[in-house]
Amino acid sequence: MQAIILAAGMGRRLGDYTKDNTKCMLSVNGERLIDRVLGQLTKLDLTRVLIVVGYKGQNVIDHIGNRYEGSLKIEFTTNPIYDKTNNIYSLSLVKEQMMEDDMLLIESDLIVDDGMFDLVINDPYPNLALVAKYETWMDGTMVRIDEENNIINFIPKAAFKYSDIDHYYKTVNIYKFSKEFVHDHYVPFLDAYLKTLGTNEYYESVLRVMTLLNVAEVKAKPVGGLPWYEIDDVQDKDIAETVFAKEEDKLEKYMKRYGGYWRFDHLLDFCYLVNPYFPPQKMRDELCANFERLLTEYPSGMFVNSLLAGKNFGIKQDYVVVGNGAAELIKGLMECCEGKIGVVYPTFEEYPHRKKPEDIVPYVVENKNLSYSADDLKTFFTGKDIRTLLLVNPDNPSGNFIPASDVLMLAAWCGERAVRLIVDESFVDFSEDWESSSLLDNKILEAYPNLVVIKSISKSYGVPGLRLGILAGSDGTLIDFIKKDVSIWNINSFAEFYMQISDKYFKSYKEACAQFQQVRSTFYGQLCHIPFLRVIPSQANYFLCEVTDRYTSHDLAEQLLSRFNILIKDCDTKNGLKGRNMVRIAVKSVSDNNILIEALKQL
């Protein structure tokens, strides 16, 4: 068997990366694509490797040199008109060699798992196309297959329909063809296609014609969960470097992304915190039904959006500011907080990150379960020179919860000392008495003008992609400042429409919260049976767990990611938790929770 690598393209979409080199010379995590694939091919029993070069082709030839002498016989063919042709012409330049032996056909802009070549080589069927179930990042040629994995159609870009994506598979661009198939079928059709439609086409177009005429004889071979990526632009390069990072580097590469994990379909995210049981399908359908209009029309300004938020939470329009996520409001709030701020550690660090270290008065919780009460806070901060006190309730990452009555006593205590109390209740709806635990109430806000309440709608309402949060208080000066601080259109039409319709689904929300609490209770029991975890009880949608033996917190997070594609939060980097060997694990759906539990059992 021989291998043919197509490496003539210019790779314009990679910009500066291919300004002076062709795509196959691109470095991913310190290794060039051409070196990776040739290294993989050295493990196969190949008679030769034919590489078709074009743009900056001499660079490829010089780079390879004789470094594979003794392990691979490498021959080069040059496409002199690479800038006027496409890969169908590059392949036609080696059509005579193609007919001399069975072959692998490989495109040079791929990075694939080593198992890909074992998959295609070990399959007894002579003519195969490696394919992967369609995912959102995929572009290019798709196929449809029947129940016996016969390819029944090749779908070019122009014929792609999003309504059919459940039936699509993406070609990985690794093929295996027998020399008989190439000689008797492919090359004759290739010649005819070139004569009829010219050289600026793709070699898959030939397969498409053959499939339509029922002479292709090519089956699909699904690759399952084996990782691969096609690198066409700088974002592809970035994602590929994350997917194919070394085991010791992978966790850091994922964590620095701060979300966007929808790009990684096989990743199970137990790091970011979202209600798995809301919104209901009917609400999703309503959003989808209005997609086109919401996409093409402007959202309202703050006047309307604060009215909507006030309606949803039962508070006055003048008391509430709507933000592009709570993070936008936190930024503005911290900028107008003068003097020193009291912060409980460990906590959600978006708040203290907005202040200078010398302006923070830290209260580090050091007991075993990281628990504290309102009285603990009053005792510690009595006599401290603070103008603001921050309380995340339930706290993140500990899940510690202070009842509303005690929080109000703390608010009164702060008021007597001219201290502003910021209460972030983003996770309060996960608490057992959530309907009576929120401070979003006109009477409460009016009774405690020093109280500021922040709530992220992303967390408990399960819509982080909408980027919604609110800030509430009866301090008119503060509310006016925050409203002027944000831009006039700080949320989009989808977020506004969500607020417009959300009160219709309050019954579903109550049911989702009740269901969540049952699932959390079961999940807590499952985690407690893992011998190397000590699980801290939580009133939020996550558990802080101490890793007691066998692993460090970093090792556990690394093992779950590299072996099972599961992401959890290593808390060793958080203030107040350094060296305490703790991880934070989100509560997700029953099926997802069970996958994590089985992975932990295997570890």
Asked if residue 27 has pLDDT above 90, the reply is yes
At residue 140, the pLDDT reads 83
Q: How confident is the model at residue 266, as a pLDDT?
A: 86
Q: What is the pLDDT of residue 519?
A: 97
pLDDT above 90 for 259: no
**Mean pLDDT, residues 402-421:** 98
Q: What is the CATH number of domain 245-276+509-602?
A: 3.90.1150.10
Burial track 220-248 (b if 16+ CB lie within 10 A, e otherwise): bbebeebbbbbbbeeebbebbbbbbbeee
Q: What is the pLDDT of residue 231?
A: 94
Task: Considering the chain, tell me which residue range(s) the CATH 3.90.550.10 domain(s) occupy.
Answer: 2-240
pLDDT in tens, 132-191: 999 888 888 899 999 999 999 998 888 899 999 999 999 999 999 999 999 999 999 999
% of residues, the chain, pLDDT over 70: 100
pLDDT tens for 530-585 read: 999 999 999 999 999 999 999 999 999 999 999 999 999 999 989 999 999 999 99
Spatial distance between the Cα atoms of 263 and 259, rounded to a whole number of angstroms: 9
- Compute CA distances 10 → 3, 87, 157, 578, whole Å: 21, 11, 20, 48
Nearest in space to 110 (alpha carbons), one of 7, 222, 186, 198: 7
Angle between helices 281-289 and 493-501 (to 10 degrees): 130
Supply 217's token pair. Answer: 């004889």
What is the pLDDT averaged over residues 344-351? Answer: 94
For a pLDDT cut of 90, what percent of the chain falls above it?
89
The pLDDT of 220-232, averaged and rounded, is: 93
Distances (CA, A) of 68 to 40, 101, 103, 371, 521: 12, 21, 19, 61, 58
Q: 129: Cβ–Cβ under 8 A, 6 or more apart, which residues?
A: 143, 151, 171, 172, 174, 175, 207, 218, 219, 220, 221
- 258: confidence class by pLDDT, cuts 50, 70, 90: confident
Q: Do 155 and 142 touch, CB atoms closer than 8 A? A: yes
Tell me the Ramachandran region of residue 259: left when phi exceeds 0, alpha when psi lies from -120 to 50, beta otherwise.
left
CA distances from 418 to 48, 88, 269, 449, 486 (A): 80, 75, 42, 10, 26
Which pLDDT tens digit goes with each residue over 57-103?
999 999 999 999 989 999 999 999 999 999 999 999 999 999 999 99
Mean pLDDT of the chain: 95
Tell me what pLDDT residue 32 has: 96
* Contact (Cβ atoms closer than 8 angstroms) between residue 489 and residue 461: no
What span, in angstroms and rounded, lies between the C-alpha atoms of 506 and 511? 9
Instruction: Give me the residues paired with residue 437 across strands.
Output: none
Task: Band the pLDDT of 216: cuts 50, 70, 90.
Answer: confident
Structure-token pair, residue 407: 């929080």
Nearest to 471 by CA among 322, 314, 303: 322
Q: How many helices (H) and strands (E) does the chain have?
A: 23, 26
Is domain 2-240 classified as CATH 3.40.640.10?
Answer: no
How many alpha carbons fall within 13 Å on the CB side of residue 539? 19
pLDDT at residue 248 is higher than 90: no
Contact 519, 511 (CB under 8 A): no
In 3-state terms, the chain is what percent helix, strand and coil (to 5)?
A: 45, 20, 35
- In the chain, CATH 3.90.1150.10 sits at 245-276+509-602
> Per residue in 460-500, pLDDT tens?
899 999 999 999 999 999 999 999 999 989 999 999 999 99
The secondary structure of residue 504, as a DSSP letter, is: G
The DSSP bridge partners found for residue 219 are: 128, 150
Contact predicate 567/542, CB 8 Å? no
Query: Which pLDDT score is estimated for 421?
Result: 98
**Contact (Cβ atoms closer than 8 angstroms) between residue 546 and residue 581:** yes
CA separation for the pair 487, 467 (Å, rounded): 14
Cα separation, 366 vs 576, whole angstroms: 8
Residues of the chain with CATH 3.40.640.10: 281-507
CATH fold, domain 281-507, is: Aspartate Aminotransferase; domain 2 (3.40.640)
Neighbours of 64 (CB within 10 A): 19
